[in-house]
Amino acid sequence: MQPETARFKELSRAALANDQLQRSMVATGPQFVLKRAKARAALPEFDDLRNAARDIKNHVLAHLDVYLEKFEARVQAAGGHVHWAETAEEARAIILNICAAKKARLITKGKSMVSEEVGLNEALEGAGHTPVETDLGEYLIQIRNERPSHIIAPAVHLRREQIEADFRRVHTDLDPARDLSHIPALVEEARRVLRQNYLDADVGITGANFLVAGTGSAIIVTNEGNGDLTRLMPETHIVITSIEKIVPTLEDASTLLRVLARSATGQDISTYTTLMTGPRRAADPDGPEEFHIVLLDNGRSQVLGTEFQDMLRCIRCGACLNHCPVYQAVGGHAYGWVYPGPIGSVVTPALIGIENAANLPNASTFCGRCEDVCPVRIPLPRLLRHWREREFEQHLTPRTVRSGLGAWAFLAKRPKLYGLAMRLAARFLNWRGRAGRIASLPLARGWTRTRDLPAAQGKTFTELWRERQK
């Protein structure tokens, strides 16, 4: 799907006016926050583990070339194939080739944000394959032809009534008399339909949360078990993932796993954590016969060594979305592409160009809650600010903002003139006040359309202070 990031303002306005979406956000957002807080409180070492997690990822990034080679060699030694993709297009081509060679019809898929990033489903469909998402949330958005609105809870924007309607529309064999008014019935119905898909699939495609260099293992975590059925049942398993997912050892993976689920869902660990190393062995009675890993770059290596490098530590836990007041107000779709929320506003400009995503880094109050909860301590506000700097340097900042800022800076560098201007402003903003407030001000419509402006007290502090000192 083409990025719609340029439409952020428009999309966010629509999101604010969407009652159904607002109800979903209000119902789910606080739950994520509460669950994480409980999990954190239950583990005294949690914040220290975040430091350790950050350090591991920094170590990996500083040695990324060697770790990638190590990982590759281990996968190959275990009988797997490793493919490198510089761009989204290359990643799609590699996977289409494998699927064509396997004459795949039905393809089951585990949840993967990288798959969303490269637009894999569209490509598979275009080539005549039938991809079926098996993570419940991903399945729901697939049948609605939507993007995920959250990186770990793709369908968090939906309510049960919509899902019931979708099932009745898409599951043509569904008995119209069946009661689907409660959530367990909806889950049961999804289980029924997806189970047959697992059994019939020719190829299974999953993502990976971590890649262990020392063992050549790709790790996926799920609560549903869909990732495992996607790996185990078809003849061929493809992992699509990106180069920054490396961790050195199982010990290091342990540390990251400890902070991942707690940050994401407040669990001590996800229900299923699976280490997948190559295809089935000669004596194995089950598991895939062929195993492929596609390592996507897509702009990531260009971030190394820049002021944005810290973003590559991200483990896609979603905590920054859950704690972001902007995300919680507008939901994920307003961001217009694959990765929403604070991390999305940092990553998206790196992947599709700041000129195509200029709104995103600005749609933040820098409240800092994201950085406060990030398990790998990514300084998200700082990275957003760095994007604003790039915009400013490249003259992408809107003209009105630039000239306003210029005029203000001109004054602020000249204290005498500034003092005069402020004295005038103080008087004007006092004179316009009625009952202590200003209901409408031509140059500040952005403010006064929805709120009053408290009137100024009449003189500036500086002039009053100097008067008193005399």
Partner 1 sequence: MPRVALFPTCLVDVMRPSVGFAAARLIEQAGFAVTVPEGLTCCGQPAFNSGDRKTARALARRTMTALAGFDFVVLPSGSCAGMMVKHYPELFEAGSADHTAALALAARTHELTAFLVHIARVNNLASEFPARATYHDSCAGLRELGIKSEPRQLLKKVAGVTLMEMEDAEVCCGFGGTFCVKYPEISTRMTDKKVERIIASGADTVVAGDLGCLMTMAGRLKRLGSDIRVRHVAEVLAGDYATPPLAEDDGDAA
Partner 2 sequence: MSARETILARIRSRLPGTEAARRDAVELHLAAHGANLVPLRGLGDGDHRLSLFTRLMTGVGGSVETVETLADVVQAVAAHMAAAGLPPSLRKGADTTLAHLPWHRAPGLTLLSGPADPADHTTLSLAFAGVAESGTVLLLSGPDNPATLNFLPELHMVVLPASRLVSCYEDVWPLLRASQGDGLMPSTLNMISGPSRTADIEQTIVRPAHGPRDLHVIIVVGA
- Residues near ligand SF4 (CB under 6 A): 263, 314-320, 343, 373-376, 378
Q: Identify which of residues 296 and 320 has a Cβ nearer to ligand SF4 in the complex.
A: 320
- Looking at beta carbons only, is 272 or 428 nearer to partner 2? 272
The correct pick among 392, 407, 420, 431 for binding partner 1 (CB under 8 A) is 392
Q: Are strands 210-212 and 246-247 parallel, antiparallel or unpaired?
A: parallel
Cα–Cα distance, 248 to 341 (Å, whole number): 28
Do residues 367 and 345 touch, judged by C-beta distance below 8 A? no
d(CA 205, CA 222): 14
Which of 211, 206, 216, 217 lies closest to 239, judged by CA? 206
Minimum Å distance from CB 425 to partner 2? 48
Q: Which of 112, 115, 277, 345 binds partner 2 (CB under 8 A)?
A: 277
DSSP class of 434: B
- Residue choice 13, 38, 169, 195 for contact with partner 2 (CB under 8 A): 195
Of the ranges 34-42, 154-162, 185-193, 412-420, which one interacts with partner 1 (CB under 8 A)? 412-420
| Least CB distance to partner 1 at residue 105 (A) | 45
Residue 392: contacted member of partner 1, partner 2, ligand SF4, none (CB under 5 to 8 Å, by partner type): partner 1
User: Would you say 224 and 136 are in contact if contact means Cβ atoms under 8 Å apart?
Assistant: yes
Would you say the C-alpha torsion 106, 112, 115, 119 has a positive or negative sign?
Answer: positive
Of 224, 233, 220, the residue nearest 285 (C-alpha): 233
Neighbouring CB atoms inside 10 A of 41's CB total 9
For position 403 contacting partner 1 by CB under 8 A, the verdict is no
Question: Is the separation of the CB atoms in 49 and 359 below 8 Å?
Answer: no
Count of CB atoms situated within 10 Å of the CB of 250 = 14
238 interacts with partner 1 by CB under 8 A: no
Applying CB under 8 A, which of residues 10, 69, 393, 463 lies at the interface with partner 2? 69
State the binding string over 299-338 for partner 2 (x if CB under 8 A, else -). Answer: --xx-xx---------------------------------
To partner 1, the closest distance from the beta carbon of 16 in angstroms equals 5
Give the integer Cα–Cα distance in Å for 193 and 410: 65
Query: Residue 455 carries which DSSP code?
Result: P
Give which of partner 2, partner 1, ligand SF4, none residue 298 binds (C-beta under 5 to 8 Å, depending on kind).
none
**Pair 460, 419: CB distance under 8 Å:** yes
Q: At its nearest, how many Å lie between ligand SF4 and the CB of residue 335?
A: 13
Q: Of these, 1, 170, 187, 424, which contacts partner 2 (CB under 8 A)?
A: 187
Among 363, 374, 376, 378, binds partner 1 (CB under 8 A): 363
Retrieve residue 173's tokens. 């064999």
How many whole angstroms separate alpha carbon 15 and alpha carbon 263?
26
Query: Which C-beta is closer to ligand SF4: that of 137 or that of 204?
Result: 137
Least distance between partner 2 and beta carbon 281 (Å)? 6
Which one of residues 5, 265, 356, 359 is an interface residue with partner 2 (CB under 8 A)? 265
At 436, give phi and psi (nearest 5°).
85, 5
- Find the part of the chain contacting partner 2 (CB under 8 A) among 120-128, 252-260, 313-321, 347-355: 252-260
Those residues with Cβ within 8 angstroms of residue 454's Cβ, 6 or more apart along the chain or in another chain: 436, 437, 438
The binder of 310, among partner 2, partner 1, ligand SF4, none, by C-beta within 5 to 8 A per type, is none
Tell me: does residue 279 bind partner 2 (CB under 8 A). Answer: yes
Task: Indicate the SS3 state at residue 294.
Answer: strand
Return the residue matching tokens 């809870």. Answer: 153
Which of the listed partners (partner 1, ligand SF4, partner 2, none) does 47 bind, with a CB threshold of 5 to 8 Å by partner kind? none
363 binds partner 2 (CB under 8 A): no
Whole-angstrom Cα distance, residue 11 to residue 14? Answer: 5
Q: How far is the CB of 388 from ligand SF4 (least distance, A)?
A: 18
Q: Which is nearer to partner 1, 102 or 388 (CB)?
A: 388
Answer positive or negative: Cα dihedral of 185, 191, 196, 202.
Answer: positive
Strand partners, 293: 82, 239
Q: State both tokens at 368.
A: 């800092």
Q: CB within 8 A of 57, min separation 6: which ones?
A: 247, 256, 312, 313, 315, 376
- Regarding 401 and contact with partner 1 (CB under 8 A), the answer is yes
Amino acid type, 247? V
Considering CB distances under 5 to 8 angstroms, the limit depending on partner class, which of partner 1, ligand SF4, partner 2, none binds residue 409?
partner 1
Catalog residues that contact partner 1 under the rule CB under 8 A: 9, 12-13, 16, 325-326, 329-330, 362-369, 371-372, 382, 385, 387-393, 397, 401, 405, 408-409, 411-413, 415, 418, 422, 425-426, 429, 433, 435-437, 444, 446-447, 449-457, 459-462, 464-466
